[in-house]
Amino acid sequence: MLPIHFAPLQGHTDDVYRRTHYHLIGGIQRYYTPFVRVEAGDIRSKDRRDIDPKNNLEVPVTPQIIFKSTKEFAFLTDEIATQGYHTIDLNMGCPFPLQTRHGRGSGLLAHPDIVAEVASIIKERTELSFSVKMRLGWDNAEEWMPVMEILNDTPLTHITLHPRTGTQQYKGFIDHEAFGRVYEVSRHPVLYNGDLTTIGQLHEMEERYPHLGGLMIGRALLARPSLAREYVEGRELSHAEQVEILCTLHHKLMEEYANIVKGDAQLHSKMRTYWEYAEPLIGHKAYKKIMKSGNLRNYLAAVSELKD
């Protein structure tokens, strides 16, 4: 059985979601915060809230940072270490042009010189454990090669690889052959990430890569929050049971967000995003009804129909 890591998903897996998922459902070895970045010389207050240890009590969570230089890296690392964290995940995979055009996320893969400078700081910060989440490259599926040479010589707990390039975003061909090469070459445990949706696929990955460090799942866990628990416990739930768990998590989240966001319109908009990836589980008709609900009242009526 491989450990399952919950992928960071900006706009979805915030502190409230991670905490609620962990306590209500489980099956996850580690959660990651969506990437924390430097904006106008500081960390946004929203991100500070997300990494505040008070909001992450008991939850096994690693803050993730995105950076374009050793200056940003050092600033974010210091800020996170000050909060008492001992693990930090480095984002070298984000494909959003807003980040990559400044050389952050997968944009960093085209700059092995900066990766090497960051690696030398990592070697000095022996009190911290770092991991890397990366792609094959920004627009070239071979960019990982010089970067891996540096990473192999850097102390890391693991590398998570999403075997696409940045320009592919989250769709299209997944390069399993290239994943296999990274898996062979890496001196660190490698976690596979990308398009895993069924328990059968999780078992296939175990067989295909016997020395895998784990699996990271994102969108499929948003749609089916019990997926990791079902895999870990070796008991696949019926469709009705999966929907039941999705709804229970939804109700708990709604209770939590109602204390944080102001007014019905904001609460509706926040809760609506919760269903963005749920179509495979709830079906097209129910999905459309929730997405087009327009206000909180219609929304709640559409959600309550799921269990009919």
Ligand X SMILES: Cc1cc2nc3c(=O)[nH]c(=O)nc-3n(C[C@H](O)[C@H](O)[C@H](O)COP(=O)(O)O)c2cc1C
**Residue ranges binding ligand X (CB under 6 A):** 7-11, 34-35, 64, 91, 93-94, 133, 162, 170, 193-196, 217-220
What is the three-state SS of the chain? CCCEEECCCCCCCCHHHHHHHHHHCCCCCEEECCCECEECCEECHHHHHHHCHHHHCCCCEECEECCCCHHHHHHHHHHHHHCCCCEEEEEECCCCHHHHCCCCHHHHHHCHHHHHHHHHHHHHCCCCEEEEEEEEECCCCCCHHHHHHHHHCCCCCCEEEEEEEHHHCCCCCCCHHHHHHHHHHCCCCEEEECCCCCHHHHHHHHHHCCCCCEEEECHHHHHCCCHHHHHHHCCCCCHHHHHHHHHHHHHHHHHHHHCCCCHHHHHHHHHHHCCCCCHHHHCHHHHHHHHCCCCHHHHHHHHHHHHC
Residue number of the CB closest to ligand X reads 218
**Least CB distance to ligand X at residue 34 (A):** 4
**Least CB distance to ligand X at residue 114 (A):** 18
Query: In terms of CB distance, is 272 or 298 closer to ligand X?
Result: 272
Query: In terms of CB distance, is 35 or 130 closer to ligand X?
Result: 35
**Least CB distance to ligand X at residue 10 (A):** 4
**Least CB distance to ligand X at residue 222 (A):** 8
Query: In terms of CB distance, is 223 or 302 closer to ligand X?
Result: 223
Query: In terms of CB distance, is 194 or 225 closer to ligand X?
Result: 194
**Least CB distance to ligand X at residue 88 (A):** 13
Query: In terms of CB distance, is 170 or 294 closer to ligand X?
Result: 170
